[in-house]
A and B are shown apart, each in its own frame.
Chain A
Amino acid sequence: MHFRLFLFMLPFMITSCGYRKWLGPSETQRRLASSSLQQQLREDDSAAEQVAIEKLTSLHYYTMIGHKNLKDFDEVLEFESISYQNLMATRIQIDEIEEFITAEYAQILNSKEHKKLTHFKSTLVKFAGLSRLHLVSLENLLETLALSDLIPSKVVELGRKELEEHYKSLQLINDFQIHEKNIDHLSHMIDFKFDSNEKKFAPSINKMGSVNGSEFPSKVWSLTFDDGPTPSSLKIVASLKRNNFKATFFPLGLKMGRHSPEAKDLLSSGMEIGAHSYSHRDLTKAGNLSLDKEISEAIQKVGEQHKQKVGLYRLPYGAGMNATHIRERIAENDVIHVFWSVDTLDWMPQSAQKIADRTLKLMKKSSKDSGIILFDDTHKRTLLSLPEVLNYLKKDGRKVCTVGQVVQIMNQGAPIICQ
C-alpha cells in the first residue's frame, strides 16, 4: 500500500526535482501541440478523434507497462531495481499525456462548444468501453476531469493473470514495442540523472577518475580485452562484429608497432582503444622513470598509432590505485582509469567452457544486470568462450556499449543506443 502511495506521489516529486526540463516536452512545445490539436478540432472532427484515440492508446500502453512494473517492483522492493526505474519513467509519460488531455478538455469547456464537448466525452466512453483494462487506464484521468460518472462500473484491482495475458498480447503489437523501448530509454536517463547534473567521470585523482562497472545503468555491459594485440584479437574482433557488438581493447604499448599487422588491424577495426601500460609490469614496484614509460609513453604510443586521443587507461593487474603518485600520473595524462566488475580469470589455463560458465555466473550475480567484463585477447580459450557470453548479452534487452560510450552517456544523460 505504501508503494502505491509512493507511486502516486512520484509525479509531484519528479516535478519538484526539475526532471520535466529534460524529460518531457517543454511548455512551449506542449502549447504548440495543444493549439495544433485545437486547430484540427475546428477543421476536422475525425482527425481530432484520431489524435485523441492515439493519446488514449498511449495512455493505455503506458498504464499496462506501469502495472507490470508495479507487480515486479512489489516482488523485489528494491529502489535500485529496473522495475522501479521503469515505474518512474512510466509515471512521467502518463503524467504528460494526462496533462495534455486535461488541457484540451479545459479549452473545449472554455469554448463552450457543446458539440465538441459531447464528442470528447463520447470518445472517452468509447475507449473505456473497449475492455476492463482500458477502463483502468482512464481511471485517474476521468477523476481529474471530474468525469467519473462516465465510468459504467467501479474499477477493480487487476489480477496478475489477467494483466500478464493482456501484457503478452500487447507485446505482439509494434506500436506497443515502441512504447516499451521509450520507457527503457527514459528509465536509463533517470538512472543517470538521479544524483546530480555534474559529470560522473572525468580524469581525476579522486573516485570520479575511475570506473569499475558497478556504476553502470541497468542492463548495460561493456566487454573489455587486455594485453593484446595478438592474432586472437582479430578473431575476437570478427566474432564481435558478427554480433554487431563493440568492445574496448586495452593493448600494450610494446605491441604497438608499425610492423605489427595485428596492431594495425585492431586499431582500424572500429573498436574502442584504451591503453594498458607499456610492458604489463606491476606499477606499484615501478620508479618514476618507469611510470613515465608505462603510463605516459604507452598512452602516447597507442594514441599516435591509432590517430585518436586515448581517453581510457587500465593498470596491469588493476594494481596501484591506492598509490597517489600513480593516480596523479593517470589523471595528468587526461585519461580515466577502468577497473572491472566481472573477472573471467581467463589468464589461467583452463577450458573455454569453464571460462564461459564462470563469466555467466558472475554476470547473473550482478544486481543491476550490468558491469564491465574483463577478458584477455591473448588466448584461444577466450575466443572459444565468447559465443556463449555474446549470446547471453543479446537476450532480455541487454545493451553492449564500449566503456567510453557509457562514460559519455552517463556524463551527458543521453539515451542508451550502443549497438
Chain B
Amino acid sequence: MSVKFIVLLMFVVSCASPLVTPEAAPAAKTAPVKEFAPGELILATQLLTKIFDEEMAPLSCVPDTDEASLLLRTIRPRMEVVQDDMEAMLDDSKEVANMIQNCDKNCTCGQVDDLIREHLVILPKAQKKMLARKRNDKELNRCLNYAQSTFCQSELYKQLEREKSDFSFEEEEVE
C-alpha cells in the first residue's frame, strides 16, 4: 500500500466521519419542548390570573396586567392539553377518585372542582365532602404563596419568557 493511498484513505475517512450524528441534527434545529407537570401549569395559570384580575400583587417578572395577559396567552396551549386530559378522566370514576385524592398534593383542587361542577359529574358523598374540604381558601392561599415565591425562578417561567414574543400583539411594521 503506497503512502499516497494511505493519506488519501485517511482524508476520505476523516471527511466521511460525521461531526453531528444524523439523529442529532433535527434536535439541534428544533428546541426540545420541555414538558411540565399539570399541577405546575395549573398553579402558574391561577397565579397569572390572580395578577391579571388585580387580586394579587404583581411579581418582579410579571410587573403588570398586560404582562400577565401575555403570559396567560403563552401558557394556554399547554393548559388546553392539561384540561383535555382532565376532562377525559372525568368519564372514569377511578380516575376521578384519584384526582380528588391527590389534588391537594399538586394544588389542583380548585381546577378539579370547577371541572366536576361544569361537567355535572355526580360524586359519591364521601368524595364530595373530601373535595369541599380540600378546596378551601386556606389551601388555595398556601398554593398561591408557594407559586408566588417560586414562579419567577422556575423553568416554566423561563420557557414562557422565551416563547411569549410569538403571542405578543405588538406588531413590528414591515417595510
Contacts and interface: CB of A to CB of B under 8 A. Distances in A.
A144 B56 CA distance: 60
A361 B168 CA distance: 22
A177 interface: no
**Interface residue tally on B, bucketed by range:** 20 to 34
B73 A322 contact: no
A339 B169 contact: yes
A349 B76 contact: no
B49 interface: yes
Contact of B172 (A212, A319, A322): A322
Contacts of B83: 349
A379 B118 contact: yes
Nearest to A349: B114
Contact of B69 (A343, A349, A350, A361): A343
Contact of B53 (A319, A339, A358): A358
Contact of B166 (A320, A349, A379): A320
Among A207, A318, A319, A324, chain B packs the most CB atoms within 10 A around the CB of A319
B52 interface: yes
A284 B171 contact: no
Interface string B163-175: 0011111111110
Contact of A205 (B49, B169, B174): B174
A322 B72 contact: no
Interface string A334-355: 0000010001010111110000
A379 B73 CA distance: 18
A347 B80 contact: yes
B111 interface: yes
Contacts of A207: 171, 173
A350 B74 CA distance: 19
Interface string B66-110: 000100111011011001000000000000000000000000000
B67 to A, nearest CB: 13
B77 A317 contact: yes
Contacts of B171: 207, 210, 321-322, 327
A323 B166 CA distance: 8
Question: Which of B69, B79, B80, B167 gathers the greatest number of chain A CB atoms within 10 Å?
Answer: B167
Interface in A385-414: none
Contact of B173 (A206, A349, A358, A380): A206
Interface in B103-138: 111, 114-115, 118
Contacts of A317: 73-74, 76-77, 167
Contacts, number: 60
A121 to B, nearest CB: 61
A181 to B, nearest CB: 34
A282 B166 contact: yes
Contact of B45 (A212, A324, A348): A348
A381 interface: yes
B118 A319 contact: no
Given A321-B168, A322-B165, A322-B172, A345 B118 contact: no
B103 to A, nearest CB: 13
B72 A349 contact: no
B163 to A, nearest CB: 8
A322 B166 contact: yes
Interface string B2-44: 0000000000000000000000000000000000000000000
Contacts of A345: 49, 52, 72
Nearest to A337: B171
A234 B156 CA distance: 38
B57 to A, nearest CB: 17
A326 B166 CA distance: 11
A261 B151 CA distance: 44
A349 B115 contact: yes
Contact of A380 (B73, B79, B118): B118
B168 A322 contact: yes
Given A349-B83, A349-B115, A327 B168 contact: no
Interface in A295-343: 317-324, 327, 339, 343
Contact of A348 (B49, B74, B168, B170): B49
A326 to B, nearest CB: 10
A284 B73 CA distance: 13
A212 B166 contact: no
Interface of A: 205-207, 210, 212, 282, 284, 317-324, 327, 339, 343, 345, 347-351, 358, 361, 379-381
The 10 closest A-B pairs by CB, nearest first: A349-B114, A284-B166, A319-B167, A205-B174, A319-B166, A321-B171, A349-B115, A282-B77, A339-B169, A317-B73
Interface of B: 45, 49, 52-53, 69, 72-74, 76-77, 79-80, 83, 111, 114-115, 118, 165-174
30 contacts: A206-B174, A212-B169, A282-B77, A317-B74, A317-B77, A318-B167, A319-B167, A322-B165, A322-B166, A322-B170, A322-B171, A322-B172, A323-B166, A327-B171, A327-B174, A339-B169, A343-B69, A343-B73, A345-B49, A345-B52, A347-B76, A347-B79, A348-B45, A349-B83, A349-B115, A349-B118, A350-B114, A358-B53, A380-B118, A381-B118
Given A205-B174, A317-B73, A318-B73, 18 more contacts: A282-B166, A317-B74, A317-B76, A318-B169, A319-B166, A320-B166, A321-B169, A321-B171, A322-B166, A322-B171, A322-B172, A345-B49, A345-B72, A348-B45, A348-B79, A349-B114, A379-B118, A381-B118
